[in-house]
Amino acid sequence: MKHAVVTGITGQDGSYLAEFLLSKPEYVVHGLVRRSSTLNRSRIDHLTIDPAFRDRFHLHYADLADSASLGSLMDQIKPDEVYNLGAQSHVRVSFDQPLYTADVVGLGTLRILEAVRQLARTKPVRFYQASSSEMFGSAPPPQSLDTPFHPRSPYACAKLYGHWQTVNYREAYGMYACSGVLFNHESPRRGESFVTRKITLGAGRIKVGLQDRLVMGNLDAKRDWGFAGDFVKAMWLMLQQSEPKDYVVATGETHSVREFLEIAFGMLDLDYQDFVKFDPRYTRPSEVDVLLGDPSEAKNVLGWRPEVDFQGLVKMMVEHDLELARREKHLLEYRPQ
Ligand code: NAP
Ligand code: GDD
């Protein structure tokens, strides 16, 4: 059996990656979870309770801020593959919590790389780092690995540190370590404060009458948005090659927040302009205006292709969140008085 450790298993990508790995009978998946006063495992509950995965899906307490927990788990599990997806992943929040973000996202990557390096003395182990298109920041599009990085947030600076540490561990110690520079990827499991999910949740609730406005920031920003379920396959592919290498993973298309709004509201026969209000609270001290990735290496070398297109992604999220809104309304209407 192949043992894979996944940090950030309770997040959007962690849940899709766990599903994907478990769909391969040779994998045992070990997810690292943080202790919290309430359980936040809704994205992976279906895997935990599925009897088919009882012996192949395990959760362990650990934290990227805690080297000891990472070291002892590497020692105990002795994984073949490590996927480092854990992060304080919200760009706007990183301006409010720059030191915490640097610790978990930047130093956290170094902590797990060190734990993996110790293990690599005794057995082969492959490492994937969840790097980000945010690292390109204000660099003009299209962005590829030949584009100079120009990060525009504490989050992006911390990710860039993690990226270069990954490259350096590969070069200095000969480790099989890869950095996947992934552009934005979304899904019905996307965190509710990221822009796409905020829009589809808001549109659904407006449609059924639970909400009458949606308060947003900069609508002119453009992103290269793909489907998270497609993107986790590229992570796995990166660890199955004969040589370790970094890749850009993107769709190669860019759309503005305004366009996302138009399409999402349009799918519900609504005009977003009737409902969207501006609040500077949702802007950033320094913005990333346009992200547009060049995924040719991922296509040519890994054979990776995104399967869900932009329209398909918006539709998937809108339909999911309309159903959620309908259920919420139903519960409110039938609540005992
Ligand atoms: P997400 O939904 O925000 O999930 C983040 C995960 O990290 C959660 O499981 C979270 O645990 C965990 N985490 C947070 N702090 C931690 C800590 N101190 N120790 C251990 N785990 C911690 O993020 P995502 O969208 O799945 O993204 C996955 C990774 O890819 C992140 O590193 C993100 O920065 C990166 N990335 C994402 C995108 C994208 O568009 N989604 C693009 C490029 C790169 P809790 O559930 O306990 O909070
Ligand atoms: N979150 C949010 N909320 N963003 C808004 C809003 C709003 O109300 N209004 C406009 N935006 C704009 C932001 O200013 C940004 O330009 C864009 O929408 C996308 O914001 P997010 O969805 O929060 O994502 P992000 O691009 O900043 O970061 C995501 O993608 C990165 C990869 O490029 C995160 O997933 C990061 O973790 C990831 O690395």
Residues with CB under 6 A from ligand 1: 7-14, 34, 36, 40, 63-65, 85-89, 104, 130, 132, 182, 184-185, 191
20 lines ligand 2 (CB under 6 A): no
Report the nearest-CA residue for atom 15 of ligand 1. 87
Domain check: are 233 and 279 in the same one? no
Same domain, 233 and 274: no
Give the pLDDT confidence of 18-39 residue by residue, as tens digits: 999 999 999 999 999 999 999 9
The answer to whether position 82 is within a domain reads yes
Domain extent at residue 243: 2-187+225-249
Residue holding tokens 């780092």?
A: 129
Query: What are 290-300's pLDDT values in tens digits?
Result: 999 999 999 99
Q: Which ligand sits nearest to residue 187's alpha carbon?
A: 1
- Is the bond preceding 142 in cis, omega lying within 30 degrees of 0? yes
Find the 30 Cα to ligand 2 centroid distance in Å.
29
| Sequence-ordered list of residues with C-beta below 8 angstroms from that of 25, at least 6 positions apart, any chain | none
Angle value at C-alpha 132, between 165 and 66, nearest 5 degrees: 50
Categorize the per-residue pLDDT at 335 as very low, low, confident or very high, splitting at 50, 70 and 90: confident
8 plus 149 within the same structural domain: yes
Residues belonging to the active site: 132, 134, 155
| Segments of 62-212 assigned E as strands | 81-84, 126-132, 176-182, 185-186
Total of domains in the chain? 2
CA of residue 59 to ligand 2 center, whole Å? 29
Residues 144 and 70 in one domain: yes
Shared-domain flag, residues 162 and 208: no
Judge if 214 and 72 occupy the same domain.
no
Ligand nearest to the CA of 87: 1
Q: pLDDT tens across 49-108, in order?
A: 999 999 999 999 999 999 999 999 999 999 999 999 999 999 999 999 999 999 999 999
pTM score: 0.98
What residue ranges in 10-141 does DSSP mark as E strands? 27-33, 57-61, 81-84, 126-132
Helices 228-238, 12-22: axis angle to 10 degrees equals: 60
